[in-house]
Every structure is written in C-alpha cells, then in structure tokens.
Amino acid sequence: MLTDRPDVAPDAQEAAALAASWNAHFANVGWLHLPSGGHGHLSLLEPLDVDTVPPGAALGRKIDASMPAGRDGAKLRQWMNETQMLFHAHPVNVAREEAGRPVINSLWFWGAGSLPVRADIPCMQLWADDPLAHGLAHAVGVRAAPLPDKTGVALQEGNLVLLQDALAPALYLDAAAWTQAVEALDRDWIAPALDALRRGDVQSVTVRLSGDEAAVAVTTERRDLWKFWRRPHPLTPGP
C-alpha cells in the first residue's frame, strides 16, 4: 500500500543518503534528486514509453492495479524492486527502525515524459501549497504562490486556487476527517467566494472537483444568486 504519512517522509540528510546510494547503483539509468519530504525528480539518460499513476490516485490503496504499465512498464517495475532491495538494509532505514520510525521501502515512479512546448492555463495567478502545481505554473509562465493567510487575497478575477485539505482523508477513506475538511473549505473559501460574488468583486466563481475516474466543474455567476428557489443541501443525509 502506498502511503505519504508525515512520519514516513525523509529529512534532508536521510534523503541525501538514499539518493546517493540510488545514484551509485543506477548510474546507467539516470540521476535522482531527492530533497527532504520524499518528493523528488529522476532525470533519465534515455526516455521511457510507460504508463504511470500519480501518487494521488494510488495513495491508501493496494498498489497492484497502479503499477507502471506500457512498453517499458516492466523495466520501471524492475527498478522499483531493485530500489526496494537497495533500501532494505540501508543505514538510513536501519536507524529509522531502531528509532521506531517506519522505514522507506522503495520509490514510486510516475509522470515519465518531456515538458510540453506550449500549454494553456486559465488563470493569471495560481495559489497552491503543492510543488507540482507550482512547477506546472512555472512551465507555462503563470505566477504561483503558497496559499495566503487571508482568503480575500486570492479571491480576485483571474486567480486559481488549489485546495487539497480533503484529499488525504478521501484517499484513506476517513469519512469523519473528510467531512471536517470539506466543512472547513466551505467556511474558509466557498462562503467568502460567494460573498465576493455578491459584492461584485468577481463576476463568476468556478469550483472544480476531481475524483478517481471523473471530474466536475460548477460555475456560479452573479445572476445565479437571484435564483432564490434554490436551497443548499447538507453534506450528511437527514434522519
């Protein structure tokens, strides 16, 4: 099972030691950059034709159905197995086990490919705490910043806000934590966005929700607020 629990993530020294061992063992494959936190980048010497699954689609689930596939899928799976053997008796994991911390079993490879020549993103400013989102924004020339302390800073025309507080509870099937996270998102972001819409600070608000197999986008314009016959629905069913 794939996990991203905070106590699994390596610190800077652990990550550097693991990356050094990996690069020495896989010198004919490429170069691994692994900073603290456990999310790194692998620069391959040769491109791969492989279908991979992002961590967000595999976390909290058995990994059998999410393993790399495609023409070079077997090669990538072999690297994962070799990494598991390399890390098994690694001094970093020996120390972690002695300290009662979970060991780092392997690496999850995903996203093989090259940067697109050109891509479009429907915003002028991205607000997110996700490093991948920042990288994608940088690739297309869009400004990116961490989520602000004050919601109103991000609730302006042309701004895109990425909110992931409900992601981990959803992946780990924690209904209570998911409900709390969604209620917090509603209080801290959705309600202020509707207030901005009522004041005329913005002309429309679009909420995009993604799941394992599909996504839905809901757009509310100022004129929609006049539809008084619409009533909000609770997250939990009534008695």
| Tens of pLDDT, residues 227-239 | 877 777 776 655 5
pLDDT at 237: 59
Q: What is the pLDDT of residue 114?
A: 75
pLDDT recorded at residue 185: 92
Q: How is residue 178 written in tokens? A: 């998911």
Written as one letter, the residue type at 180 is Q
Amino acid letter, 228: F
Closest CA to 76 of 85, 64, 67, 84: 67
Q: How confident is the model at residue 54 (pLDDT cuts 50, 70, 90)?
A: confident
Q: What mean pLDDT is predicted for residues 124-143?
A: 87
At 90-108, the pLDDT tens digits run 999 999 999 999 999 999 9
Q: What is the mean pLDDT of residues 185-195?
A: 91
Give pLDDT tens digits for 148-178. Answer: 988 888 888 889 999 999 988 887 788 899 9
23 closest CA partner among 48, 1, 40, 4: 40
Q: Give CA–CA dist 31/44, Å, rounded.
A: 7
pLDDT value at position 38?
78
Whether residue 180 is predicted with pLDDT greater than 90 in this model: the reply is yes
Residues 155 and 209: their CA atoms lie apart, in Å, by 18
pLDDT tens across 196-210, in order? 998 988 889 999 988
List of residues 6+ apart from 151 with CB closer than 8 A: 188, 189, 192
Pairing of strands 125-127, 159-161: parallel
Please tell me the predicted confidence (pLDDT) of residue 119.
Answer: 67
Q: What pLDDT, on a 0 to 100 scale, did the predictor assign at position 56?
A: 77
pLDDT at residue number 235: 62
Percent of the chain with pLDDT over 90: 48
pLDDT higher than 90, residue 79 = yes
Which of 14-28, 114-128, 143-157 holds the top average pLDDT?
A: 14-28
**pLDDT category, 123, cuts 50, 70, 90?**
confident
- What is the pLDDT of the chain when averaged over all its residues? 87
pLDDT computed for residue 238 by the predictor: 56
